[in-house]
Amino acid sequence: MNRILIAEDEERIASFVQKGLRANGFTTVVAEDGDLALGHALTGGFDLMVLDIGLPGRDGFTVLRELRESRVTLPVIVLTARDSIRDTVAGLEGGADDWMTKPFRFEELLARIRLRQRTAARAPEVTLLRSGSLTLDLRTRRARAEERTVDLTAREFVLLEMFLRHPGQVLSREQILSHVWGYDFDPGSNIVDVYVRALRRKLGAERLETVRGMGYRLP
């Protein structure tokens, strides 16, 4: 866990956190508003985000909500001037992993980030997703249906991985668009339906169930 996204619009604080983290061996990127922060976080290129609540554009609560609605599990440490119990509870229940208030000591922030590192290191890495006779190898990026090996395009792989990580759950077109193509993709596009049909051709029509008016589900 060495790639940290810092979502902070106050330049002095962003620079302070960035310099401290870089001095401790982390790679950092600063996002000055909520729209940039969400876009960066959805790429999957970061291991943790330090998130301010009072961001321009999307505020921190909105960024956090849209991340979790997109099933992005990126650890988030909120760093904010808001110190009410109501805000803290809303943030933690909304998907934040930790909550710190400003002013803060950098040593405490660093300790909390390292705690997330240790937690992630203890979690066993999943390399094979399975649902019945359907498997997806995350290392080779290949699927197997029954005894057939199935080659997937990059988008098909991400889409199938999303279904396999949420078996039995109905995923809306908006959720799929956000996760696979990015939050700013045209919501009126039928690209999700096109790719679901492609997966059905490769894996079998029974693999993905249409839930009318709601989305798709891996039974």
Residue 207: DSSP 8-state: G
pLDDT of 177 reads 84
Outline where 43-186 has alpha helix (H). 60-69, 85-93, 106-122, 154-165, 173-176
pTM greater than 0.85 (yes/no)? no
pLDDT of 185 reads 61
**Residues in a beta bridge with 6:** 30, 50
pLDDT of 48 reads 94
Give the neighbor-by-neighbor strand order of the sheet with 76-80: 27-31, 3-7, 48-51, 76-80, 98-101
Cβ-Cβ contacts under 8 Å for 66 (sequence gap 6 or more): 38, 58, 178, 183
- Distance, in Å, from the CA atom of 161 to the CA atom of 45, rounded to the nearest integer, reads 17
pLDDT in tens, 36-46: 999 999 888 89
pLDDT at 125 over 80: no
pLDDT of 178 reads 78
Pair 64, 91: CB distance under 8 Å: yes
pLDDT of 18 reads 94
pLDDT in tens, 52-79: 999 999 999 999 999 888 878 889 999 9
At residue 187 the predicted structure's pLDDT band, cuts being 50, 70 and 90, is: low
Whole-number mean pLDDT of the chain? 88
The one-letter amino acid at 216: Y
Percent of the chain with pLDDT over 90: 53
pLDDT at 119 over 80: no
pLDDT at 121 over 70: no
Q: What number is the average pLDDT over the span 80-92?
A: 87
Three-state SS for 60-85 is: HHHHHHHHHHCCCCCCEEEEECCCCH
pLDDT in tens, 12-38: 999 999 999 999 999 999 999 999 999
- Distance, in Å, from the CA atom of 56 to the CA atom of 177, rounded to the nearest integer, reads 24
At residue 215 the predicted structure's pLDDT band, cuts being 50, 70 and 90, is: very high
